[in-house]
Chain A
């Protein structure tokens, strides 16, 4: 039987990795991801997890070491944040092109400069196009569930892509929450041992990481694109299987009080829970407001998003990252392109909030909705707003 626990979310993630029987871990300390790897190294030291833990000298080497581990055939895990993710950047593209099913937790944190250890989505948005499966979670239970499911998604021979679970740094990673842990037996049944399709083995030698001439590079990238978009159906299958076992079902785009809503907020990550409170209060006040929560970031669930919007006329997209000098912050850019070719598409407004750990309260969403409604009557003057800039 599953049992309920109260636990810091970072530690829950390390338990998820333990229950997934990860075999090889390489990591470098960076706030706010540290609690995850600290606990994993403790588990390895105490013999509670039969794995090898390598303390590397940088994140660049962390991801490179993970490549060696995964290419040799071990179930491989790492975690990072912010500058660490940026330092890995070069290697992230190679991991997915090598089709190695490494699982990584990114405790999202703002990028320097100025240096900030606090939360926003700037780090992962700078690594948006690395060709990995990318999932955002909202609370501790989701962080646990998706950490286990990530291995099953990544290692599926029809997918074979590395997978990132994004959880908001500090405001989710360092929070103690109530969660339900499954039994090890159930996890073992759900997630069988990793069987690589190819590995570095002297009995069956292969060359990995060959270079490509112009004649084949495009075709390889097309194959990568097809693998990532094709991962969609397998992700849904894994989520369904998990849902059937645990009763917790997940969708690429989650809806909250969207029935009859004229205005929809769209959020990603743990801000969604704050937005839910705001939606409740606005509904009580008679406003026809609902909420869409984007869970699957790569591959981007275009059809799910279009369907989820339903009859709503106005979509307010909340971003936690910037695209400086560009047309739109990252989430808005995807959302607008999802709707651009659609007849009777909803109007979109865009707000960037919660940068570098700036606190966001339910009242902020109410203000945003009011401002968006007001501006909807007028001609748009700005592509997007950076909300709450102090004068």
Chain B
């Protein structure tokens, strides 16, 4: 996989674009925005899921663009109930499958159960039901589409919005730099539940994403996948840059791709060299107002977080970018 593939040369399946499934389970004709990274992620996650599955989806962008009655973009059996309860709905589906199977009412293989929600539906309002479902150990996979704000309702901040980002409810101003808090570490929260499989993924790394979804589905018990989904509408970025931005998030260390299998961390995409975060921030209008001081702070924070992750992974340190403190001093 390009020059940096799966770490440590572990055994893994060979993927090539021509060998990927041609079936579409998230069909064209849905109403997502141009350049939507999330719709791309949904398309590839559903391909990885395959036919034999039931999906519960939270209210949010992907629900609203895909399920306006009488149309649907979903080829799977699919249910939407509300914003904060998709993990509970999935718990019910998984439980019902169990009893129906035991009673002989359901023949053949057990369908996979997948719950999906945006970052608001996962890290904010849906956190309780997700935590409950993870703790109870239902055999299901939760996929979070993280576009880092409430995009569907008009780009309001969520707890997953990164530091400094401009949203309609975290606007920069005389007294504000934009989002004043750091992005909630949802992956660490999932890991803390002691579930067998947790991973981050990105539609800019299709094979990595595909591989992780397969692994999550095949793992008995709960699995959690956190997908960074570039949102040109909310991030104020050019629509043709979505895949590129997803790659820059990984290459700068802002959103590292890794998995946690039974508590063991492993970096799945290891950039040999980290780019400065400025490369990631610059194409996005939501960071336009940031001064060098804040940009330097983001750079520092990103590297610190990345180092912590590398420690957990026991991975080799890549070449880190030179911190831009001089720039800061120059200004002053």
Seen from chain A, the residues whose Cβ lies within 8 Å of a Cβ on chain B are 23-24, 26, 50-52, 54-58, 60-62, 64-74, 76, 90-91, 94, 98, 193, 199-202, 204-213, 216
Contact = CB atoms under 8 A, between A and B. Distances in A.
A205 to B, nearest CB: 4
B95 A69 contact: yes
A26 B82 contact: no
Given A52-B95, A202-B52, A202-B54, A74 B100 contact: yes
B81 interface: yes
A74 B64 contact: no
B53 to A, nearest CB: 6
Given A57-B128, A67-B92, A71-B89, 6 more contacts: A61-B87, A61-B132, A94-B81, A205-B77, A209-B79, A209-B80
Contacts of A58: 128-129, 132
Interface string B70-83: 11101111111110
Given A23-B100, A61-B88, A210-B68, A72 B81 contact: no
A202 B69 contact: no
Nearest to B92: A68
A209 B100 contact: no
A56 B99 contact: no
Contacts of B96: 23-24, 52, 68-74, 76
B300 interface: no
Contacts of A55: 136
Contacts of A64: 81-82, 85, 88-89, 92, 129
A72 B95 CA distance: 9
Contacts of A52: 95-96, 98-99
Contacts of A199: 77
Interface residues of B, number: 48
B77 A213 contact: no
Interface string B15-56: 000000000000000000000000000000000000111101
Contacts of A211: 63-64, 67-69, 80
B271 to A, nearest CB: 38
A72 B54 contact: yes
B90 interface: yes
Interface in B271-306: none
Contacts of B91: 26, 54, 56, 61, 65, 68
**6 nearest A-B residue pairs (beta carbon):** A68-B92, A57-B132, A72-B96, A64-B85, A64-B88, A209-B80
A67 B135 CA distance: 20
A205 B74 contact: yes
Contacts of B103: 23, 50
